[in-house]
Structure 1
Amino acid sequence: MSEAVARAASTGPGLLASLAPLLRTWLPRQRWFAGKGRPVSGFSLVAATDLLPPGGRLALLHLLVRAHQPEQRGDCYQLLIGAREALPPRLAPALIGQVRQGPLAGRTVYDAVYDPRPAEVLLEALRSRARVGWLRFERDPGHGIAPDLAPRVVGAEQSNSSVVYGDTLILKLLRRVAPGIHPDLELPLALAREGCARVPAPTGWIRAELGAEPYVLGVLQPYLPGAGDGWERALRGLAEGADFTPEARELGRATAEVHTALARALPTVTLGPARLEPLLTGMRARLDAAVRAVPALRPHAPGLRAAFDALAGHCAAGHTWTAQRIHGDLHLGQCLRAASGAWSLIDFEGEPAKSLAERRMPQPVARDVAGMLRSFDYAAHSARPPAPGTWATDCRAAYCAGYAEAAGHDPRADAVLLRAYETDKAVYEVVYEARHRPEWLPVPLAAAHRLATAPS
């Protein structure tokens, strides 16, 4: 069935046709475009809304556009398109191109996220709880938004775009979007209700009311000025010869506090044979695919498969585990340390390549713990000069010890479960590095060797 189109009258049916030749070139170059390596065969318009009155010197359009690629329907992307008669030099990096036909003919279009004026429009809409076409700008009644906060775009983005307002608030605009409940809004709201201070509580959010399930498009949260992420702090500590284990211990405590609050706020399930089998099937399938894609992994495959077999054997012997909502993509870069020394966890959207339904599935907390343990390995490899040989091992131990202090149980106590999840993560890393960063491949291969030879 064809997708219904929500369109403001002023955008007209010729809008997408006029933009398509420019988007075909521009979109695949964006860091947040998920379909790299495959040509874009066409576009379809999901929704189009004027955010400024048409006919002015600056046109501002909010678009949801589906990019079609061979053998798949394609992903839907959120685009904020600005149109001017001439582009100021400061906006040159945001250039998309000049439109030759349609309602924007003769104008230059660009990614308006980089323009302060459109960023101000978004914040004012959130402040006033505006309803613009199919867009709903909402905020927590208990959190006011001050006017006249100067915006600036955050440069180091991967799967989304963020704008900071006056070092007070940060708006994350989701780029690849889908209808349904989004964990990057759902989980911080749930944690706020539990009073968990480890995660900034959402101040506002943007949704598109299209059909039975809305699209979550953006989340506004408090900005932590002067905060540095865990990756930066770990590398700085390594460069300065500082001991990072106290920080790792506090990170473990922060993770455990978030997990405990999520288990209170949202339902948990028991992971027995019926629920574990699909997880194990996925782990084994990913290992088989990785061995085919990266021959260097083949010598380790039997030992890695043994990690999954051991978990299956535990389950067959009657062991069960608790599964709950978790972060889903936890690593050092997803943790912020404020000037006060307190650690926060951010970016709860999970792995962007997975569907919303997959990201919202309950999982054992061991999956988050495994992600952080792998992150220590990566930090040790990235350090210049090289990290001491025991640095990653010491940080891993400190992190788990801190987790145990806050949660009352040490993730290392269930070594079979933790090994299976760390193995699955390392297998994913092997494929990723082989495809995108071959020079990094030795990092997950070394982990694969360690995990494959670990005692059962």
Structure 2
Amino acid sequence: MSDAMSDGLPEGASPASPHRTAPARPALASAPHGSPLLRSLTGPLARWLPRQRWFAGKGRPLTGLTLISATELLPRSEDGSAPGLLHLLVRTRQSSSQPGAPPRDPSGGDCYQLLLGVRAGLPPALAPALVGRPTEGPLRGLAVYEALHDARLAAVLVERLRTPGRLGTLTFGRAGGAEIPGGLPARLLTNEQSNSSVVYGDSFILKLFRRVSPGVNPDLELPLALAEAGCPRVPAPAAWFEAAWPGTGTEPLTLGVLQPFLAGSADGWQLALRSLTRRADFTAAAHALGRATAEVHTALAAALPTGVLAGAGLEEVAAGMNDRLAEAASAVPALRPYRAGLGRAYEEVAAFARNGGSCAVQRLHGDLHLGQVLCAPDRAGRGSLWWVIDFEGEPARPLEDRRGLGPPVRDVAGMLRSFDYAAAQHRESLGSFAEAWSRANRTAFRRGYAEAAGGDPAGTAALLRAYETDKAVYEVLYEARHRPGWLEVPMTAIRRLAAA
């Protein structure tokens, strides 16, 4: 099921392990026809993939494609009246690797999940979704397009999730007791960066992971554990699907998770900006959000393994932060005058470790900020609740790291930095009010967290300061590379943290 890239690109992509699926039309998805299928798609995919927002390898030439698996979820009708739906796992090969590159699959390349529609002719409304028209192979002359833009094909996915079972290398699972009605209209969300999501009616949202690697994705693993623990702060998965990596004993790849759609909700970022625009108090909401965060942490610690970080392990954490500071200062000259002051926060942690200090570690959200929380009506009719979503962690980090243990103050630091970012949107127009707003809400969040957790997250002040500093340093590097106009936002925090 593999082939090197053609269409003028170098040969040499390593073959995937052969396997057989159970498609409705063998000409498209069974092992003997894998190479013709890839040759049919190579040219269009080589041009289309690098343009996608979720493609992680921007800036590095695409030199090879390998087809890992192909499964036909819906056969195209012979008379052309109904489109076909193909599910592909494709491994990319690029000419070089860069620091901070995304996680790799076992064969050394990035693996992407693709959902492709196939039609003889493409309706005008779907023209922007066109991938291309292959000039050879089993798809010759047909229009191949991004299937999620086609509500008819997107509906096939939720219908498949209603019935647990296996199709080729794909396995579909469903939570016990989950009711998924049929006939729900599909709507693709278009504002995502790393993944793709489809909303079905006002009932469910399906999150599809674009770049995948073996191992259970935390965005399935953690919500399932929290649902089992009875935590009311996280939408419980209703269904999911995975893929086996052919010919290996590795863990399956998590491909998608179906969860309840919180109709009428607003994310914390929108609410915070609205508060600033209106010069309104937000501290009650920040306090409640701190309580919600602590409840999630408490439930995760009860449901999943925990540990203690001390001694050499804690010193290694501080050393890693120092290394990231050195790398960022090398790349961003504006950071260099503050390097010594920032480094003191990391030295405090190292000294704390050398003096016998320790901290509890557990599973975390991993990328907590105001955009990862929703305020939605409580289904029990008790007003509104904060819900925590998107447990995938930082997509650029390897999956193994994202599934690791860490101190809860890491999530707390991420949310504190998010309040600063929200205030920065109005710093020029609101002046001292924006600064006071950020300080007040950071304090309210910590108080709410302390009440629910039974202890102030700043109980070990050195750790919280170090993690907030590490986050701000990351932000400086990110903004310098991607949004230079925003560099002053984290630099304001850098000056404050360096003087602490």
Write the distance in 2 (CA, Å) between the matches of 1:368 and 1:180: 22
Q: Tell me what 1:100 maps to.
A: 135
Q: Which residue of 2 aligns with 1:152?
A: 187
1:117 to 127, 152, 164: 152
1:41 partner SS: strand
Does residue 316 (structure 1) correspond to residue 354 (structure 2)? The answer is yes
Secondary structure at 2:322's aligned position in 1? Answer: helix
Indicate the residue corresponding to 1:353 in structure 2. Answer: 396
**Alignment of 1:197 onto 2:232:** yes
Distance in 2 separating the partners of 1:110 and 1:130: 27
Partner of 1:412: 458
Q: Are the counterparts in 2 of residues 20 and 42 from structure 1 also a CA contact under 8 Å?
A: no
Deviation per CA, 1:95-135: give whole Å up to 9, x if none: 21111111111011111011111111111111011421111
AA aligned opposite 2:167 = V
SS state at 2:91 partner: strand
Q: Secondary structure at the match of 1:388?
A: helix
SS in 2 for 1:413: coil
Q: Which residue is equivalent to 2:56?
A: 34
- Matching residue of 1:4: 17
Deviation string for 1:307-343 (max 9, x for gaps)? 1001000111111100000000000000000033200
1:172 counterpart SS class: strand
Deviations 1:380-426 (A, max 9, x none): 11138435321111110000001011101111222100000001101
**1:267 aligned to 2:310?**
no
Separation in 1 of the partners of 2:426 and 2:46?
Answer: 39
**Aligned 1:38-437 pairs, distance under 5 A:** 38-56=60-78, 57=80, 58-72=83-97, 73-210=108-245, 211-212=248-249, 213-339=251-377, 340-383=383-426, 385-386=429-430, 388-437=434-483
Is the contact made by 1:7 and 1:49 (CA closer than 8 Å) also made in structure 2?
Answer: no
SS of residue paired to 2:187: strand
Unaligned regions of 5+ residues in structure 2, if any? 1-13, 98-107, 378-382
> Is the contact made by 2:77 and 2:84 (CA closer than 8 Å) also made in structure 1?
yes
Letter in 1 for 2:412: V
Distance in 1 (CA, whole Å) between partners of 2:451 and 2:326 is 37
Which shows bigger deviation, 49-58 or 62-71? 49-58
Q: Is the 8 A contact 1:135 1:208 kept in 2?
A: yes
| CA distance in structure 2 between the partners assigned to 1:6 and 1:300 by the alignment | 55
Q: Is the 8 A contact 2:289 2:448 kept in 1?
A: yes
State the TM-score, normalizing by the size of structure 2. 0.89
Within 5 Å, which residues of 2 pair with 1:441-452?
441-452=487-498
Question: In structure 2, do the counterparts of structure 1 residues 110 and 317 end up closer, same or farther at CA, with 3 Å as the change threshold?
Answer: same
| Superposition misfits of 4+ residues, deviation over 4 angstroms | 5-8
Give the conservation status (yes or no) of the 8 Å contact 2:315–2:349: no
1:283 to partner: Cα distance:
1.0
Whichever residue aligns with residue 20 of structure 1, its letter is T
Residues 269-299 of structure 1 deviation map (CA, whole Å, 9 limit, x = unaligned):
1101132233223211111110111011000
Question: Separation in 2 of the partners of 1:116 and 1:5?
Answer: 32
TM-score of the aligned structures, taking structure 1 as reference length: 0.97
Paired AA for residue 42 in structure 1: G
Deviations for 1:221-250, whole angstroms, at most 9, x for unmatched residues?
000001010001111111122111111111
Change (3 A) 1:450 1:6: farther
1:21 corresponds to which of 32, 43, 50: 43
Letter in 2 for 1:324: Q
Look up the equivalent residue of 2:27 and give its one-letter code: S
Deviation string, structure 1 residues 356-382 (Cα, Å, up to 9, x no partner) = 110011000010000000001110111
Q: 1:5 to 1:450 in 2, by over 3 A?
A: farther
Please give the alpha-carbon distance, in whole angstroms, between the structure 2 residues aligned to 1:2 and 1:21.
Answer: 18
Aligned partners of 1:282, 1:156: CA distance in 2, in Å?
33
RMSD: 1.4
2:233/2:386 contact within 8 Å kept = yes
- Cα distance in 1 for residues equivalent to 2:235 and 2:19: 33
Residue 439 of structure 1 aligns with an amino acid whose one-letter code is G
| Structure 1: segments with no counterpart, 5+ residues | none
Shift of residue 55 of structure 1?
4.9
